[in-house]
């Protein structure tokens, strides 16, 4: 954001925008929040939005659009084929990222379906800095396996390293030298499941050099690129004087395939794949009309495509992309001051509670992140997301792997919340932390086989939710 100093001791993130459209919010009494939690099977994905006060579940598709994006949506060309809207979007992504070929898709996981259906065969291994839930599911569904070569201390929640999303290039080289069947290497910007942690441009270039040496394509999930751009400029000394546009192009220049969910990057509802090689583009191309839509809309609304075109250009604006990381840093610092365990340093996407420490009395098989997530909603009306063992899947033998980290993600959709709302959330978390011994575990009531965290249902292992409500009333009286 703009370089503004404050006369007092306190420093606040200063928004470089104003709010011109509002949506009314409702904060239910805690008894009704408990009833909503029960109805949702203690899974915040299944809560009704009318029952949510602050929706910090995700930043996907819920960021605030700019007035320029809203205006552009009225300029859409809704031709089924040959749409001028598609031409504008294709020209913009080529201008910004430089890869030669563009395929539209309705969101990021649709891109993954096309990419990994094309690249991955039975017995293949796909190395990456860290997995994302849908990415891993697509690779496994095509007979492959995922190996994670994250920076060695990347999952240490307190280590102060600016680029905890870096890949361990030594392990990558060893895998490729072993002769394993590796169809591609995947890097993820703003690594989601470890707290939105970025990689450095230097590390990405090292990964690129190894990939080129062994003739393996480098695939980038750029959905959280805007946060990674901000951190590279702020934390990587050799990039401090680079423009955001130049950093974005330098990242894309490392990649053979560059895909994104525009629900995160570009602030629209869609996605896309950029491909450097014509032969690979032609292999993927046929999957778009088969699964998504015609090649000039790929399952997206043309109005959204116009908004994405503008949104991608706005991503090159430092003031725009700094808003999320600055709000997240403020939240992490305020929670840390209160002794509440959080992932540090502050990353992108959201602030992340360390549930393994927050509710350390719970066994990991009791889904501590899921239990803390449910408790947070009951205590505050804030809907967050579990990013721990609930978000993993059982293997073919029914064995459940325990997650490396048990996190509750407090997403910060861009330009949506005010600082007073963030401070309310911090206050309720402080109360919850002081009463954390009340929080008990969860167990599965209905466990789907695929991506269970989206729609599975849980139940508490004791009457701890009722105890939490009683303690809230004792401390807050008739307050909401």
Give catalytic status of residue 199 as yes or no.
no
Q: Which of 12, 80, 214, 476 is catalytic?
A: 80
**Tokens, residue 424:** 């309310």
Catalytic residue among 58, 133, 135, 315: 133
476 is catalytic: no
Distances (CA, A) of 140 to 108, 115, 135: 17, 13, 9
Rounded alpha-carbon distances, angstroms, from residue 62 to 55, 67, 263, 265, 269: 9, 15, 7, 11, 9
Can you tell me the distance from the alpha carbon of 415 to that of 323, in angstroms, rounded to the nearest whole number? 7
Task: State the catalytic residue, choosing from 33, 92, 186, 387.
Answer: 387
Q: Given 233, 264, 414, 452, which residue is catalytic?
A: 264
Q: What is 95-112 written as a DSSP string?
A: HHH--SEEEEESSHHHHH
| 472 assigned to active site | no
Cα–Cα distances in Å, from 308 out to 93, 265, 269, 346?
10, 8, 8, 27
Contact 386, 334 (CB under 8 A): no
- Please identify which of the residues 221, 269, 281, 409 carries the catalytic annotation: 221
* Active site annotation includes 133: yes
Determine which one of 97, 149, 163, 453 is catalytic.
453
Q: What is the largest CA-CA distance in the chain?
A: 67
Q: Is 256 a catalytic residue?
A: no
DSSP 178: T
Concerning whether 132 is annotated as a catalytic residue, the answer is: yes
**CB contact burial 16-43 (16+ within 10 A = b; e otherwise):** eeeeeeeeeeebbebeebbebbeebbbb
DSSP 3-state assignment of 420?
helix
Residue in 132, 330, 358, 424 annotated catalytic: 132
**Residue 221 designated active-site:** yes
Beta bridge partners of 460: 442
> What Å distances lie between residue 473 and 42, 138, 261, CA to CA?
21, 46, 42
- Give the CB-side neighbour count of residue 301, counting CA atoms within 13 A: 10
Which residues are catalytically annotated?
Answer: 80, 132-133, 221, 264, 387, 453
């Amino acid at each position: 954001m703009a370089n503004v100093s404050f006369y007092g001791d306190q420093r606040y993130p200063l928004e470089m925008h104003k709010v011109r459209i509002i949506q009314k919010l409702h904060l239910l009494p805690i008894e009704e929040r408990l009833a909503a939690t029960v109805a949702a099977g203690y899974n915040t994905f299944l809560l009704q939005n009318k029952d949510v006060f602050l929706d910090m579940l995700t930043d996907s598709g819920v960021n605030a659009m700019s007035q320029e994006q809203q205006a552009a949506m009225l300029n859409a060309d809704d031709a089924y084929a040959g749409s001028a809207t598609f031409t504008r979007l294709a020209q913009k992504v080529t201008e910004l990222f430089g890869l030669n070929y563009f395929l539209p898709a309705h969101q990021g996981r649709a891109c993954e379906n096309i990419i990994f259906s094309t690249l991955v065969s039975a017995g293949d291994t796909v190395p990456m800095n860290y997995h994302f839930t849908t990415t891993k599911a697509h690779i496994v569904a095509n007979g492959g396996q995922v190996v994670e070569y994250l920076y060695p201390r990347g999952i240490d929640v307190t280590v102060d390293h600016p680029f905890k999303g870096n890949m361990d290039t030594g392990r990558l080289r060893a895998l490729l030298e072993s002769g394993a069947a590796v169809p591609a290497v995947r890097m993820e910007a703003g690594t989601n499941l470890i707290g939105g942690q970025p990689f450095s441009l230097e590390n990405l270039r090292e990964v690129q050099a190894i990939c080129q040496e062994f003739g393996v394509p480098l695939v980038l999930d750029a959905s959280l690129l805007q946060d990674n751009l901000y951190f590279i400029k702020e934390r990587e000394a050799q990039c401090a004087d680079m423009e955001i546009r130049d950093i974005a192009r330098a990242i894309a220049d490392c990649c053979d395939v560059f895909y994104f969910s525009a629900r995160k990057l570009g602030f629209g509802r869609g996605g896309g794949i950029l491909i450097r090689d014509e032969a690979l583009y032609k292999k993927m191309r046929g999957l778009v009309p088969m699964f998504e839509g015609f090649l000039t809309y790929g399952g997206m609304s043309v109005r959204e495509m116009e908004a994405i075109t503008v949104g991608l250009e706005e991503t090159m604006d430092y003031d725009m992309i700094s808003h999320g990381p600055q709000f997240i840093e403020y939240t992490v610092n305020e929670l840390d001051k209160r002794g509440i365990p959080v992932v540090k340093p502050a990353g992108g996407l959201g602030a992340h509670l360390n549930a393994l420490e927050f509710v350390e009395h719970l066994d990991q098989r009791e889904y501590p992140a899921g239990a803390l997530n449910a408790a947070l909603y009951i205590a505050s009306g804030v809907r967050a997301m579990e990013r721990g063992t609930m978000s993993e899947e059982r293997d073919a033998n029914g064995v459940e792997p325990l997650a490396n980290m048990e996190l509750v993600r407090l997403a910060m959709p861009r330009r949506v919340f005010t600082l007073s709302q963030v401070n309310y959330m911090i206050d309720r978390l402080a109360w919850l932390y002081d009463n954390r011994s009340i929080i008990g575990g969860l167990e599965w009531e209905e466990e789907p086989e695929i991506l269970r965290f989206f729609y599975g249902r849980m139940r508490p292992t004791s009457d701890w939710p009722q105890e939490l409500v009683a303690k809230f009333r004792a401390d807050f009286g008739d307050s909401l």
